[in-house]
Amino acid sequence: MNNPLHTRKAEWALTAPSFLWLALFFAVPAVIVLMFTFHGHDASGGVGEWSLSTWRELVDPDYPAIVWNTLRISFEITVWSIVLALPCAYAIARMKTRWRGIVAGAIMLPFWTSFVVRVFAWKTMLHPDGWLQSCYIGWLSVRAWLFGWLPGFMQDFLLWAGLATPGAVDPASSTILDSEAAVVLVSVYSFLPFAIMPIYSAAEKFDFSLLEAARDLGAKNFYAFRRIFVPGIRQGLVSAVLMVFIPAVGSYVIPQMLGGTNCILIGNKIFMRAIQNRNIPHASALATLMAVAVLVPIGLAMWWKKRQDVRGRRRLDAQTARLMVSAGGAR
């Protein structure tokens, strides 16, 4: 068919605008960032000569600690979000069809208020005289009490990993504002809907009669939930993890407004180096590290999905073979 809208020329006309735009403003800048990491910086805030000094300076004891903190806090945020999102998605998927749309809409609605304004509302709520401060002290005391019960080697491990702090809780010096807990709390608040939605859309397609079948076969409620429901929705689970983990690694506004000096993540350091200290090569190198931190889980997820597909196909092949064999037997 000689349709003028399906010719080679038409392909160029339709491809060129977005292709060139994204090449110029997405791909080229990424290459520039990578190139800048192989330069030193000069005193006037520009980019200096070719050198490996930037990469050598990255082992400066400050940076590895920040990268580790970012990964650890992103992991905490992801775990909390998934733990909360799973029962929510399950509950919505089990509702009547009419209610599902309403509740799903209600979960997304708060996100039409400006993000900065919402974070600022949290900042006022986390004020040292507020009720959340007393909750925080209570939480810290419970944690310290539990920590005291652990065997010595586990205490050492938690201290080493930065997951616990030694000593008793001092209510005067531990404020929830400017703490890591505030960053985790508000990040979970911000990313939770993005964890609920993919799990919910996977759960909507889930066949709940499987759960009843499991129960008929003697499985306890939680066992059936864990062994039948969770594996049944794992695709949604993987995308939920990515939807939370990626913005958590890249987060910058929340730690800047609520974390104070106690919670500086890669994002904050990039901003500091790029805008305040005008050290372009260092900012580029940190950005490269962040890109790696994001691309590794994405790559893993893609590899996993591919493997799942292959496995699924093999299982299907085996099933078909069995069916054919049994059909042959019947004949």
Partner 1 sequence: MKRSFLSVAVLWAVLVFLYVPILLVFAYGFIPNGISMSFFDARGQFSGFTTKWYAQIFSGNFAVRDLLSSFWLSLTIAGLATVASSVLGTTAALALHRWKDRIQSIHHALVYVPLVMPDILIGISLLMLFVAVKIDCGFWTILVAHITFCVSYVAMTVLARLADFDDRIVEAAYDLGAGPWTAFLKVELPVLMPGIVAGGLLAFTLSIDDVVITSFVNGAGTNTFPTYVSSMTKHSRNLPSVFALSTLMLIFTCVLAGISRLLTGRNQVVRQKAAVTDKE
By the 10 Å C-beta count (0-12 exposed, 13-18 middle, 19+ buried), 235 is classed as: middle
Q: How far is the CB of 3 from partner 1 (least distance, A)?
A: 5
Query: At 250, is the secondary structure helix, strand, or coil?
Result: coil
Q: How far is the CB of 307 from partner 1 (least distance, A)?
A: 20
Q: How far is the CB of 110 from partner 1 (least distance, A)?
A: 5
Nearest CB to partner 1, comparing residues 81 and 179:
81
Nearest CB to partner 1, comparing residues 79 and 125:
125
Nearest CB to partner 1, comparing residues 179 and 284:
284
Would you give the distance in Å from CA 284 to the centre of its chain? 22
CB-based contact 239:195 (threshold 8 Å): no
Torsion, Cα of 282, 285, 286, 289 (10° steps): -170
Nearest CB to partner 1, comparing residues 147 and 271:
271
Alpha-carbon distance of 219 to 158, in angstroms, equals 35
Angle at 177 between CA 171 and CA 181, to 5 degrees: 85
For the chain, the first-to-last Cα distance in angstroms comes to 49
For residue 49, report the phi and psi dihedrals to the nearest 5 degrees.
-70, 165
Q: How far is the CB of 60 from partner 1 (least distance, A)?
A: 19
Q: Which of 62, 40, 59, 61 is nearest to 49 (CA)?
A: 40
Alpha-carbon distance of 296 to 74, in angstroms, equals 14
Q: How far is the CB of 253 from partner 1 (least distance, A)?
A: 6
Helices 280-330 and 234-249 cross at an angle (nearest 10°) of 180
Residue 39 β-bridge partners: 50
Q: How far is the CB of 249 from partner 1 (least distance, A)?
A: 6
Query: At 90, is the secondary structure helix, strand, or coil?
Result: helix
Q: How far is the CB of 9 from partner 1 (least distance, A)?
A: 12
Nearest CB to partner 1, comparing residues 18 and 97:
18
Nearest CB to partner 1, comparing residues 91 and 325:
91
Nearest CB to partner 1, comparing residues 140 and 287:
287
Q: How far is the CB of 6 from partner 1 (least distance, A)?
A: 7
Nearest CB to partner 1, comparing residues 133 and 251:
251
Q: Which of 46, 61, 25 is nearest to 283 (CA)?
A: 46
Q: Which of 117, 227, 248 is nearest to 184 (CA)?
A: 248
